[in-house]
């Protein structure tokens, strides 16, 4: 006999509520808070408690202030409605629950509207250390505290603008194959930029380099490794590197880039857009990430800005 959905909770890979929404083609969903099981809340508590001392040592100050401003619970999976009530007056950002992967253009377009697509499931208790797909701990404890910071939030919005620019500047390319080729390169450049900054970025600070990238801030092992390990190469950020360096996903990052401030990061996104308009992103270095058909399609199908 099948188990009732409430007994299964909202565990990544085992969440009928989310899988059924996906099956119905619904991308934007409710958090369905009552479905979290005691094990789900326990996973959050364990993840949060072991991260806390590492955040204090290795996270940038804006992140630590963000955790406080959102009043994130150490004990229970947070309600997105509570977070959003605190976040809205700070930067206008909102965490928006989704059923799964959001194709590239739609994702960046959400950022432009100050909405952050947020996973609601949490990793299984026996997989605390590594999960290839995002979960609510990565999205809410790793990303959302950064959205309380004005310059960082504005940077995400500018990133969303870049996706619109990509559609606009390639719309006049007559040959569909050539348009797809250029967009594939531009999406690769944008994905790498996002990866090496929003996901794995370091920022110079009074205590030395600290993490602001959410992939680091939600990983117990990698956060310390990123700051302390002699094996990691850490360089002052340069746009040439951000767009041409392959992004490797299934091991600790061997190469990280340091920004001076979030105003600096904002300027880099401006520069990214200028380079895009100048055609400099049409031929970036081959390599990871592979651009999925659904990501390319989302750009090809996007309305051309007037
Ligand atoms: Fe992420």
The two tokens of residue 177 are 């194959």
Give me the pLDDT at residue 39, please.
Answer: 96
First to last CA, the chain: 55
Please state, in angstroms and rounded to a whole number, the distance separating the CA atoms of residues 272 and 274: 6
In DSSP terms, 151 is beta-bridged to none
* 306 alpha carbon – ligand 1 mean position (Å): 31
Q: For domain 5-300, which CATH number applies: 3.40.140.10, 1.10.800.10, 3.40.50.2000, 1.10.260.40? A: 1.10.800.10
* 221 alpha carbon – ligand 1 mean position (Å): 16
* 159 alpha carbon – ligand 1 mean position (Å): 15
pLDDT surpasses 80 at 171: yes
Please state, in angstroms and rounded to a whole number, the distance separating the CA atoms of residues 6 and 100: 19
Give me the pLDDT at residue 249, please.
Answer: 85
* 13 alpha carbon – ligand 1 mean position (Å): 17
Each residue's pLDDT tens digit, 100-126: 999 999 999 999 999 999 999 999 988
Average pLDDT of the residues in 6-25: 90
Each residue's pLDDT tens digit, 219-235: 999 999 999 999 999 99
Question: pLDDT averaged over the chain?
Answer: 95
* 213 alpha carbon – ligand 1 mean position (Å): 8
pLDDT surpasses 60 at 6: no
* 173 alpha carbon – ligand 1 mean position (Å): 32
Burial class of 122 by CB neighbour count within 10 A (0 to 12, 13 to 18, 19+): buried
* 139 alpha carbon – ligand 1 mean position (Å): 6
pLDDT-derived band at 250 (thresholds 50, 70, 90) equals: confident
Question: Around ion ligand 1, which residues have CB less than 5 A away?
Answer: 214
Q: Which of 123, 118, 298 is nearest to 214 (CA)?
A: 118
pLDDT-derived band at 1 (thresholds 50, 70, 90) equals: very low
Please state, in angstroms and rounded to a whole number, the distance separating the CA atoms of residues 26 and 44: 26
Please state, in angstroms and rounded to a whole number, the distance separating the CA atoms of residues 238 and 259: 9
* 17 alpha carbon – ligand 1 mean position (Å): 22
Give me the pLDDT at residue 130, please.
Answer: 72
Give me the pLDDT at residue 133, please.
Answer: 84
pLDDT-derived band at 194 (thresholds 50, 70, 90) equals: very high
State percent of the chain over pLDDT 70: 98
Q: Domain-by-domain residue ranges, the chain?
A: 5-300
* 244 alpha carbon – ligand 1 mean position (Å): 20
pTM greater than the 0.85 cutoff: yes
Q: Where are the beta strands (DSSP E) in the chain?
A: 94-98, 115-119, 202-203, 210-211, 233-236, 255-259
Please state, in angstroms and rounded to a whole number, the distance separating the CA atoms of residues 201 and 220: 16
Each residue's pLDDT tens digit, 30-50: 999 999 999 999 999 999 999
Contacts of 172 by beta carbon, 8 Å cutoff, 6+ apart: none
Greater model confidence, 145 or 133: 145
């Amino acid at each position: 006999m099948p188990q009732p959905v409430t007994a299964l909770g909202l565990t990544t890979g085992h969440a009928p509520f989310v899988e059924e929404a996906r099956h119905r083609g619904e991308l934007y969903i409710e958090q369905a808070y009552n479905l979290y099981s005691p094990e789900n809340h326990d996973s959050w508590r364990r993840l949060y408690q072991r991260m806390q001392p590492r955040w204090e040592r290795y996270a940038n100050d804006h992140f630590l202030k963000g955790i406080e401003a959102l009043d994130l619970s150490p004990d229970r999976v947070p309600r997105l409605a509570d977070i959003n009530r605190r976040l809205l007056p700070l930067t206008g950002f909102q965490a928006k629950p989704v059923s799964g992967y959001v194709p590239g253009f739609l994702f960046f377009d959400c950022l432009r509207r100050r909405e952050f697509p947020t996973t609601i499931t949490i990793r299984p208790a026996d997989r605390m250390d590594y999960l290839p797909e995002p979960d609510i701990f990565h999205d809410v404890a790793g990303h959302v505290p950064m959205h309380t910071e004005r310059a960082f939030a504005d940077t995400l919005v500018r990133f969303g603008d870049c996706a619109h620019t990509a559609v606009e500047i390639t719309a006049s390319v007559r040959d569909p194959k050539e348009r797809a080729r250029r967009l594939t390169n531009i999406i690769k450049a944008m994905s790498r930029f996002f990866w090496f900054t929003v996901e794995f970025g370091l920022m110079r600070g009074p205590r030395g380099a600290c993490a602001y990238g959410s992939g680091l801030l939600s990983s117990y092992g990698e956060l310390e490794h990123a700051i302390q390990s002699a094996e990691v190469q850490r360089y002052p950020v340069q746009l040439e590197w951000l767009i041409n360096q392959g992004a490797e996903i299934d091991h600790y990052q061997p190469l990280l880039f340091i920004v001076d401030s979030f105003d600096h990061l904002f300027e880099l996104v401006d520069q990214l857009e200028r380079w895009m308009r100048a055609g400099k992103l049409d031929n970036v270095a081959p390599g990871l990430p592979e651009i999925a058909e659904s990501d390319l399609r989302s750009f090809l199908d996007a309305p051309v800005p007037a």
